Amino acid sequence: MKLLIVNCSPVKNGATAEMVNLIRGYAAAAGNTVKCVCIDDFDIKFCRGCRQCHITANCFQADDTKKLMAQYIWADKIVSVSPSYWAGVPGQFKAFIDRCTPWSNTHEPHAAIPRGKYGYVIALRTGSKMAECQKIMDSIEHFYGHLEIKPGGRLGLCAVESKEDVADRTEEIKSFCEEYILA
């Protein structure tokens, strides 16, 4: 199985990255081919709202959106790991979502990724209320839906402020991986 793990945070060495590394380890140990990417490794420009892609199924802007989408096309399963930035996904990842309109099934023609992919979401936040994680998970699953990626499972984790806090959650993350991602 080819697994893509996306660090939706622009922070390459924080709690989100620590979770990505844990998932990578579990998935590789189970015999999967794993690629990990961080949204900060890509230059993604903001959508201009011109709707040209509704006509051409392509965006006129030259940036790394197609490079990142190539990873989605490669993968059988995609795991998006996102922190909460004011009750939403980080702006860098939201910009990527917006730029994926050429691949969205909301208009014809549209570029399409191969069918049969599954998407998983892990959302984390520093506070104690799960509602914020729910918003993030709903947002990413909505994105998956427009790319025709089937939602495969979700996990919300509260009270995660630093990568040291992730150490207390490893069993929870491992169980989620075993039950959903690696099943």
Number of compact structural domains in the chain: 1
Contact 27/33 with Cβ under 8 angstroms? no
For the chain, which ranges sit under pLDDT 50? none
Count Cβ atoms within 10 A of the Cβ of residue 122 and give its class: 0-12 exposed, 13-18 middle, 19 or more buried.
buried
Q: For residue 82, what are the domain limits?
A: 2-181
Output the six-digit token pair for 26.
Answer: 């579990």
Task: Give pTM, 2 decimals.
Answer: 0.97
Number of Cα atoms under 13 Å in the Cβ half of residue 34:
19
pLDDT of the residue at 82: 98
pLDDT of the residue at 156: 98
E strands, the chain, are 2-7, 33-38, 77-83, 118-124, 150-157
**Where residue 25 sits, what CATH number does that domain have?**
3.40.50.360
pLDDT of the residue at 149: 98
Question: Which of 158, 161, 109 is CA-nearest to residue 137?
Answer: 158
